[in-house]
């Protein structure tokens, strides 16, 4: 059935996601690009919206704000990003 297929897909852990983020010197997010999907489009969209909603990103305690960042999200903290 349709519900059992959904349950099967949810039983597989999401893969780590990677996003390229461009920002201004004040931390304002200019662009977010998904580099690697988790395998679950709805989850990917939630993380992308969270990045955009976090604008401006926090500034580093030392040094300048980098223009380009690569952010990696690991959905399973016990296994890390493998």
Q: What is the pLDDT of residues 31-43, one digit of tens each?
A: 999 999 998 899 8
Percentage of the chain exceeding pLDDT 70: 77
Q: What is the mean pLDDT of the chain?
A: 84
Instruction: Write down the pTM of the prediction.
Output: 0.76
Contact 32, 48 (CB under 8 A): yes
Cα 82 to Cα 65: distance, rounded to the nearest angstrom: 28
Which residue reads 């059935």 in tokens? 1
Calpha distance 12→37 (Å, rounded): 14
């Amino acid at each position: 059935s349709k519900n059992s297929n959904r349950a099967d897909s949810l039983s597989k852990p999401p893969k780590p996601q990677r996003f390229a983020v461009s920002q201004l010197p004040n931390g304002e997010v200019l662009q977010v690009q998904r580099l690697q999907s988790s395998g679950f489009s709805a989850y990917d969209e939630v993380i992308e919206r969270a990045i955009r909603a976090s604008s401006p990103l926090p500034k580093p305690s030392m040094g300048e704000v980098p223009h380009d960042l690569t952010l990696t999200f690991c959905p399973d903290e016990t296994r890390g990003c493998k």
